[in-house]
Chain A
Amino acid sequence: MTTPPTPAPAAGRASAVLGWASLVLVGATVGLGLVLPRTQEQAEYSRLIAVHPPAAWASYVAVGVAAVAAIGFLVTRRGGWDRVTIASLEVGAVFTAITLATGSIWGRPTWGVWWEWDARLTTEALLLAVLLGAVALRRSLAPGLGRGVITSVAALATVGLLPVVHFSVEWWRSQHQAGTLLAPDPATNADNPYIVAMLVGFVAFSVLFAWMVVQRVRIEALEEEADGIVLDRAIAERRAEASPARGVTA
Chain B
Amino acid sequence: MGYVAAGYLVTLGGLGAYSAWLVRRAKQLKHDRAR
Contact = CB atoms under 8 A, between A and B. Distances in A.
**Is A bound to B?**
yes
- Looking at B18, B26, B30, B33, the one whose CB has the most chain A CB atoms below 10 A away is B18
A219 B8 contact: no
A30 B10 CA distance: 12
Q: What is the predominant secondary structure among interface residues of chain A facing chain B? A: helix
A226 B29 contact: yes
A47 B4 contact: yes
A94 B7 CA distance: 15
Contact of B1 (A44, A219, A225): A44
A165 interface: no
Given A216-B22, A219-B22, A219-B25, A48 B14 contact: no
Contacts of A226: 29, 32-33
A106 B12 contact: no
Contacts of A94: 14-15, 18
Interface string A204-246: 0000100110011011001101100000000000000000000
B35 to A, nearest CB: 11
A219 B18 CA distance: 13
Contacts of B30: 222
B30 to A, nearest CB: 7
B28 to A, nearest CB: 9
Interface in B2-16: 3-4, 6-8, 10-12, 14-15
Chain A interface size band reads 20 to 34
B11 A102 contact: yes
Nearest to B16: A26
A204 to B, nearest CB: 10
Nearest to B4: A47
Contacts of A91: 18
Nearest to B22: A215
Interface of B: 1, 3-4, 6-8, 10-12, 14-15, 18-19, 22-23, 25-26, 29-30, 32-33
- List 7 A-B pairs, minimum CB-CB distance, nearest first: A222-B29, A215-B22, A51-B11, A105-B7, A48-B7, A102-B7, A101-B10
Interface of A: 26, 30, 33-34, 44-45, 47-48, 51-52, 55, 91, 94, 97-98, 101-102, 105-106, 108-109, 208, 211-212, 215-216, 218-219, 222-223, 225-226
Given A101-B10, A211-B19, A226-B29, 20 more contacts: A26-B12, A33-B8, A45-B3, A47-B4, A91-B18, A98-B15, A101-B14, A102-B10, A105-B3, A105-B7, A105-B10, A108-B3, A109-B3, A208-B15, A212-B18, A212-B22, A215-B22, A218-B26, A219-B25, A222-B30
